[in-house]
Structure 1
């Protein structure tokens, strides 16, 4: 390996501490010379004493005007002398020379009118308009700073970049050529500047293209802690001031992938103009065909367009597999494959905007084989929309469609097309009585090739009137009306499973409610205690069984009765199923605050005259007295936060639902844990017709799952790990870990992820990703 003596990367003290360049005290006698001739040829130009302080250009204010042959060059110094015989002009003492926004500073500058060369020595500094500063012991310049040479050159660049070279030559004000160059964006140790930086680029020669803002290195080594770890015969990168520029990007490489084998990518970025760019990412793998990905981005005055798509030739075979007891035949996903992800959003005016999110792929197996983002989800969703924002109001019309990915669970013909849906929400200002009116509507037309197809017109009106009395009781009187009109076909199919094929139905449910909160406050020495009984009375007609009344169900399929829905007028998620009848909800809320810490708890129960037959079995509302729900939040210190919820049978005390979340620790060590339990897996309830066939066996398997994560941060190091385990089946769902090191110029990250679940017959997957990020250079990802 060839070695060369590279210059040390030392930053002048003021710049190393982030201070501006020193402004020296000027003597009372200041001389200015303004040259109106070409370059800095000053023969015969008279010297004039300055009458006022000259306004200096601000370094780094912008790109500024380029160096030009015919622009005047201005000088300032403490003293000046002129040798008429030798044709020499000498400025000494805090010399400054500038043309446009380009500035030269030195202790001494001598100009030879015979050769048109200015020689600068002693603390030479050249300030460029973009903020770049060049330092040297000695420089010879001509053509108005446009050409010259410098010895022992150092430079401060954007993004804390630092460059040093044994020598530098500037040509036509456009190119700086350097010999034995060294570059880094890492900090230089002020106490030991002789120590090598964390990383540096070392090249036998380098070129800084000032016109195109590009750095080129030849015969380049990458050093870490002064030790060579990589070599490239040629390396080119934008200079640190560039935000975007056409060129090759750092690609992705993997020695071993489950479906791709060994693969490599080599992206090319094309900056079409200031608002448009295109990125091409070719992928070559050893186990399947190539892929070309294209990303198009454009920003307009009123919006954006982002398009990402790919075309590939997939040669991987997909065999048959079992999903439960169902055999899924092999799919024919070989050959030409591709995907398109599109996101657009435009503003019509200050109140209205429209857009689209389109996500399509030729197959789920193709997404799996080529690691396409979104694989692992059950569906890909697409949406077109127009929405408006007003004072207290929101309006939206959209259309949606879905593509099924998990073929073992999702049947494409059963997925809905929403053509279209309209939303409107209005919240009024308080009226003269102190009440507030709100209006909501959610209307849609849904089509399924194999399943319910229905149209709905819906309107909800709500009026809340709060008041309080002398006893401190806080009342809210509510008047509420829900009304829906349906027209449906194929009602005997999912998800309604009704007894008729088609029907037109209407429902309306007026509701009156009174809720009373009666807080009792006790002030303590270091805090306070609040005990708050809560009582709510709700009166509404019996809603009946919506299934036997032939009403579709699009928004109320899943249900969980917890503390969050205890005082809801309608405890269903949507309005296709309404919660009617007479009922009383009671609860007790308590809060203890002490030394900025607190314990908050709620326990409650619902007593209903009418048992809602629209609820799922085991929902907690199957009897006149509901299950007991509770919540406890405990934050005793800054480093501990605990929240738990529970629902238990009011007769047997058996827990039917529970979840908990705990976070404990400090940055040195933090632990997060989560737990969820449900006596039934409601997700599977509508897989079969639950009214004739009954729920599938998976419905009766309890959901019992725990997660645990831990992280630690110490100085520049960060480590984290997590695990998710299904306690019902006694197996892991996922495991992961991440280790990272970060400093001012470098990031190293290694991430491990293990998936144990089966998707489309693909039983589990393991990935390891190594990422090295060099500030101002880019990121090097390596997949394991």
Structure 2
């Protein structure tokens, strides 16, 4: 026997060989270089990245031995081979040139470029890794799913690789749980044990035969056969977790989703639900991603077997035993500055979503108050903005009458800012708005006993029609077609003098053209003529203004920080507002006077009203920035009508301005304060104080952030009565949510919306359940491989005033990371039995 031995050349035992000069390098290089390339994560034993033809193989070992008699090449003792990001380590690596097989023995460990680690006591593989055996196999494979990262772990006493396609783990286990650091022999939180686990890297599927699911070492489920996608697969055809259904109105059944991966950029999801009382609820969703965006279409429908189960005294318009929904969402990018899209929801009736406990992309809040459909196009430049969109609103509560809802076709906004030319300097702004809408039936709100109203039974709800206007009836929306075009040009420039005082003169000119064509058809529109007349009309309006704003920030060091005290004063001169109450008010109905609009040039929220007269606004602002991270900011001020007609005392068709704090010559006081004692915690409040006795007419306070292990958000609000707007009682409430981390895995969570006004009006009854407009309490567990949540929720039934007014549910969800999840949701009350419809 003749043996050639390559001894170590230096102190660290390293021998570097070129690919073409050493038989061992050539032979073992075949193993690392020429294994088939698969998609990342598809096969834990395959080469997972393409090789670099210019890469060099580095071999480190105590000895390199070439045996001519046995025709083998060996690396012996602390073997480490590195090539193109992959590393093979073992006590001994042997390449048999006669059989073209590679043997890696003694603590063999292969680390792939993507981080996958394959460990075995002995590797016996063909030189291209296509077939062979591995003893005492352990595989650790990085996985990413839904933004989470983890490690998939396969173990088996023996594994076989078959023709580069499959890896068969005999008596294998799979889990994504970390082994216990203190006791590695302890079973993981969950694992799957199977007689055989077959990892098919072509189908990218893992098959389990005679499998048992263990939780904390205890078998909890036996499955003779099932399969799951490879952990690297994000999209694969197959069943999703089913959801059981138990309901008094729907019956018992289950929803069984099935996902169909038609192509990498489009798919289909079927969510049929069998309901023992109502039949089969069909639910299908199509999703498609294109080069410039994506869209989705969902259709849900059912032919009810027992529509009488919902116990409706008066069914809503369009209601019969055929019910359903179609919705679509689209988002597309024309170029980096322009986008267009749509959000559309069409319903057979407004109770369909609630009756079948369905969610929709375009339904506002979990209370399902309305469905908002829109088609839009937006453009964004460096100093410009464009937005055009149409709206269709569908009310979902029992009090809604669909004819009251406008169809907006469309509303367009444009804004552009640019530098003023030459000596003018400063900033010039151009703002424009176009609004066009149609409403079929007028909507009125009576305020007092003196208003003459007629209540007419509609198909699903009663609504009120004012037959005359005497100041005690508000026109929330008038029937007919309404179109308005508004344009505004503005200029402002800031000057800072030698004393640090800031002087900002400004001017603007706003023009409006309004066309209104009232509709008097139908008894619900009998009172429209009392408000705006019965003829088509056009109004023009212009509002020029000039003004000056003054600020004088005074800064200094105090108490370990920097403070700034800044007096602010502003004066605006303009003529009186024109045509108040002569045409509809669609977008300026909401007026809240507070710190955010104290120094606004026009305090109305929209374009349908334009503030007039000479007005002064003044206040003082304080800011403290501490060196230790403490932050305090406060503002306090007031507004005064100096001359001309006070627009907020001219209330129009909606009494806008009444009770706002601006309706007298001298306004109420407004202020805000914000405190951040440290990063991550914020306390804030804003309030309006009566100008005469300084009582609080409006207050909003909030606390958000982390306090130790508690993360919380609390919002409190109290609004004084505004009888001229229909609010005869004070409104007061709290909305709070919190999460308490008990330790690194367990947490408690909850949320509540509390109507304090209901308790205050009847304190002897105690804090009854009616005061809780919504309530959620829950608990959860999460670690690297498992998440579990359980929650109890109570939410209002939209518009319900009698009977069973809340939907109470228990929800539970268990997820095994990469393996799947299962959820359960059950209503606790007898849904629908006592509804007033």
Which digits, 9 at most, give the CA deviation of each residue in 1:419-467, with x for residues without a partner?
2232211011365444101111110221112214111111011111111
| Change in 2 beyond 3 A, CA 1:62/1:491 | same
Displacement of 1:180 after TM fit? 1.0
Q: Indicate the larger mover: 498-507 or 108-117.
A: 108-117
Displacement of 1:598 after TM fit? 3.6
Matched, 1:186 2:172: no
Alpha-carbon RMSD across the aligned residues, in angstroms, is 3.6
2:129 matched to which residue of 1?
145
Which digits, 9 at most, give the CA deviation of each residue in 1:509-552, with x for residues without a partner?
111111111233343251244332222111111115511xx222
1:37 matched to which residue of 2?
none
1:510 and 1:32 mapped to 2: Cα distance? 84
Q: Which of the numbers 533, 539, 542 marks the counterpart of 1:500?
A: 533
Q: Which of the numbers 743, 750, 767 marks the counterpart of 2:790?
A: 750
2:120 matched to which residue of 1?
136
Q: What's the TM-score, normalizing by structure 2? A: 0.78
| Change in 2 beyond 3 A, CA 1:640/1:243 | closer
Helix, strand or coil for the counterpart of 1:271?
Answer: strand
2:640 and 2:727 mapped to 1: Cα distance? 27
Q: After superposition, where does 1:754-769 map in structure 2 within 5 Å? A: 754-756=794-796, 758-759=798-799, 763-769=805-811
Helix, strand or coil for the counterpart of 1:620?
Answer: coil
Q: Which has the higher contact order (CA 8 A, sep 6+)?
A: 2
2:78 and 2:573 mapped to 1: Cα distance? 89
1:260 and 1:102 mapped to 2: Cα distance? 57
Helix, strand or coil for the counterpart of 1:616?
Answer: coil
Displacement of 1:418 after TM fit? 1.6
| Change in 2 beyond 3 A, CA 1:31/1:136 | farther
Q: After superposition, where does 1:36-55 map in structure 2 within 5 Å? A: 47=23
1:778 and 1:201 mapped to 2: Cα distance? 12
1:533 matched to which residue of 2?
567
2:814 and 2:744 mapped to 1: Cα distance? 18
1:633 matched to which residue of 2?
674
Matched, 1:472 2:478: no
| Change in 2 beyond 3 A, CA 1:630/1:175 | same
1:611 matched to which residue of 2?
646
Any conservation in 2 of the 1:61–1:129 contact (CA below 8 Å)? Answer: no
Q: Which of the numbers 745, 749, 760 marks the counterpart of 1:716?
A: 745
Displacement of 1:360 after TM fit? 1.6
Matched, 1:601 2:641: no
Any conservation in 2 of the 1:495–1:553 contact (CA below 8 Å)? Answer: no
1:716 and 1:273 mapped to 2: Cα distance? 38
Structure 2 stretches lacking a partner, 5+ long: 1-10, 144-150, 442-478, 760-770, 827-837
2:256 and 2:821 mapped to 1: Cα distance? 13
Which digits, 9 at most, give the CA deviation of each residue in 1:301-323, with x for residues without a partner?
111112222222344434446xx
Displacement of 1:352 after TM fit? 2.4
Any conservation in 2 of the 1:61–1:131 contact (CA below 8 Å)? Answer: no
Matched, 1:435 2:421: no
| Change in 2 beyond 3 A, CA 1:257/1:477 | farther
Displacement of 1:631 after TM fit? 1.9
Any conservation in 2 of the 1:30–1:50 contact (CA below 8 Å)? Answer: no
Q: Indicate the larger mover: 205-214 or 701-710.
A: 701-710
Any conservation in 2 of the 1:199–1:223 contact (CA below 8 Å)? Answer: yes
Displacement of 1:555 after TM fit? 0.7
Any conservation in 1 of the 2:77–2:91 contact (CA below 8 Å)? Answer: yes
1:93 and 1:598 mapped to 2: Cα distance? 63
Structure 1 stretches lacking a partner, 5+ long: 1-23, 35-45, 322-327, 686-694
Any conservation in 1 of the 2:35–2:130 contact (CA below 8 Å)? Answer: no
| Change in 2 beyond 3 A, CA 1:668/1:58 | farther
Q: Which of the numbers 279, 285, 289 marks the counterpart of 1:299?
A: 289
Helix, strand or coil for the counterpart of 2:354?
Answer: helix
Which digits, 9 at most, give the CA deviation of each residue in 1:682-704, with x for residues without a partner?
9xx7xxxxxxxxx6xx5323222
1:453 and 1:50 mapped to 2: Cα distance? 83
2:117 and 2:15 mapped to 1: Cα distance? 28
1:454 and 1:203 mapped to 2: Cα distance? 70
Q: Indicate the larger mover: 742-751 or 371-380.
A: 371-380
2:548 and 2:72 mapped to 1: Cα distance? 98
Displacement of 1:486 after TM fit? 0.9
Helix, strand or coil for the counterpart of 1:232?
Answer: strand
Q: After superposition, where does 1:30-179 map in structure 2 within 5 Å? A: 47=23, 63=39, 78-82=63-67, 84=69, 92-93=76-77, 106-109=90-93, 118-126=102-110, 132-142=116-126, 144-159=128-143, 160-179=151-170
1:60 and 1:740 mapped to 2: Cα distance? 43
1:251 and 1:775 mapped to 2: Cα distance? 17
| Change in 2 beyond 3 A, CA 1:341/1:107 | same
